[in-house]
Amino acid sequence: MHFSIQRDKLIEAVQDVLKAVSPRTTIPVLTGIKVTVTDEGASFIGSDSDVTIEASVPLTEEDQQFVEVIEEGSIVLQARFFGEIVKKLPNSTVTIQVLDHLNTQITSGNAKFNLNGMDPEEYPQLPSIEEENVYQMPIDLLKTMIKQTAFSISTSETRPILTGVNWTIEAGELICTATDSHRLALREVNIEGGDGEKRSIVIPGKSLSELSKILDDTNSSVDVVLTERQVLFRTPRLLFFSRLLEGAYPDTSKLIADSSKTSFEVKTKEFLQAIDRASLLAKEDRNNVVKLSVNEGEADVEISSNSPEIGKVYENVAVKGIEGESLKISFSAKFMMDALRAIESPDIRISFTGAMRPFIIKGIDDARILYLIVPVRTH
């Protein structure tokens, strides 16, 4: 193998695939990045068995040459050192050549590195994907959807299925649900393609967060390809495979009440800032709990928190249209702030079915996203 490549394209591809490489793997070849050169260009693969990322650099694009192939072939190079080396190379062009016994020479300007490579034949093949269930959606919508749901997954491995986001696709609609059993995020979006069958999969939240980091902010389309055990996100330059979580995702529809006993509308930003201020004292308490008092017929609600060692804070926030009964409820300030930061609507409606029942937050402008928070019992 022998080729030259533009340094900035090399750095971009290597940085993308590095996100899938884990130093803690028990399979030595997976500590490396597989580099392959063909008459179509160069490709780079990183994998930790759960996530596999392939980034491609074409020979040319819009009359610009990115890769010059002298000899086709492939090699696996230690990811950590290869990643550090390419970032610090001095010239705009990098030449990579495999010499004897997998020894690989990386040259740029006056800098010359020799790395011991690994046998590319030992590197696992990319998962084979059948093209039956292919869906399309805009990349920027996918990224927004991940941002608005993935933070609600569980970080505990006691129920592994809750460490993922549930995707249910039916009749051109995708419903994403994430819960850690104390809060829930739900987002609905339109999705094109597929064969019309109803499908439900659970994608690890960690995979979705990594995917969101490496996708460009663009409204061009991404293909989503589903199989029994894998999901593939595909753009012209990137293949991102993730394993799916096994098991049945809990039915969360019963948690979302159709009616409410108390509700009001409030400015998202003002409510977020008031909760943030109240949480300054609540942070000292283990649960970071704030209290909300809603009184029938009044034009504002009271937010308060109390830390016996530190002190108390009270603040009244103007709201619109309090409907229903008076209510006092306690909840995690962090959960509320996470939800409010993810809502893009300037106004929200919060609906309660009782002091110890989960309550719902919805954007006034966007009914396709909702958050549910389980209150905290205080004595």
What tens digit of pLDDT does each residue of 305-356 get?
Answer: 988 888 999 999 999 989 999 999 999 999 999 999 999 999 999 999 999 9
Strand partners, 68: 4
Q: 63 is in which domain, residue-wise?
A: 2-122
pLDDT in tens, 99-157: 999 999 999 999 999 999 999 999 999 888 777 789 999 999 999 999 999 999 999 98
Amino acid making up residue 365:
D
Same domain for 268 and 321: yes
Q: What is the CATH number of the domain that holds 184?
A: 3.10.150.10
d(CA 97, CA 42): 13
Same domain, 81 and 143: no
Chain-wide mean pLDDT for the chain? 94
Percentage of the chain surpassing pLDDT 90? 84
3-state class (DSSP) for residue 360: strand
Cα→Cα distances 158→105, 155, 180, 206, Å: 47, 9, 11, 16
Best CA proximity match to 222, nearest among 207, 238, 209? 238
Q: Centre a 10 Å sphere on the Cβ of residue 217 and count the other Cβ atoms it contains.
A: 7
Report CA torsion sign: 331, 332, 333, 335: negative
Considering the domain boundaries, does residue 349 fall inside one?
yes
Strands 64-65 and 173-179: unpaired
Number of folded domains in the chain? 3
- Is the pLDDT confidence value at 7 over 70? yes
Q: Please report whether residue 225 resides in a domain.
A: yes
Residues 138, 208 within the same domain: yes
- Indicate the pairing of strand 111-116 with strand 183-190: unpaired
List the structure tokens of 88: 């610090």
User: Per the domain annotation, does 216 fall within a domain?
Assistant: yes
If you average pLDDT over residues 206-210, what whole number do you get? 96
CATH (domain of 291): 3.70.10.10
Q: At what angle do helices 139-149 and 205-214 cross, to 10 degrees?
A: 140
Q: Mark which of 212, 235, 253 sits at the end of a domain.
A: 253
pLDDT of residue 285 exceeding 80:
no
| Residue finishing a domain among 122, 149, 165 | 122
What is the rounded distance in angstroms from the CA atom of residue 127 to the CA atom of residue 135?
Answer: 18
Residues 8 and 112 in one domain: yes
For residue 128, being part of any structural domain is answered with: no
Question: What integer pLDDT is reported at residue 71 of this predicted model?
Answer: 97
The answer to the question of residue 352 being in a domain is: yes
Instruction: Report the sign of the C-alpha dihedral through residues 23, 25, 26, 32, in that order.
Output: negative
113 & 224 share domain: no
Separation between Cα atoms, residue 18 and residue 34, nearest integer Å: 11
State the Cα–Cα distance between residues 241 and 234, nearest whole angstrom.
9
Residues 301 and 351 in one domain: yes
- Tokens 């596999």 correspond to what residue? 52
Burial label for 131, CB within 10 Å (0-12, 13-18, 19+), is: exposed
The DSSP secondary structure of 51-99, one letter per residue, reads EEEEEEEESEETTEE-EEEEE-EEEEEEHHHHHHHHHH-SSSEEEEEE-
Within a domain: residue 33? yes
C-alpha–C-alpha distance, residues 32 and 76, integer Å: 6
Q: Record the pTM.
A: 0.93
Residues 308, 227 within the same domain: no
Same domain, yes or no: 201 and 300: no
Same domain flag for 226 and 141: yes
Region at 331 (left for phi over 0; alpha for psi -120 to 50; beta for the rest) = beta
Decide which of 253, 273, 292 is a domain's last residue: 253
As a whole number of Å, the end-to-end CA separation of the chain is: 70
In a domain, 127, yes or no: no
- Whether 92 and 41 share a structural domain: yes
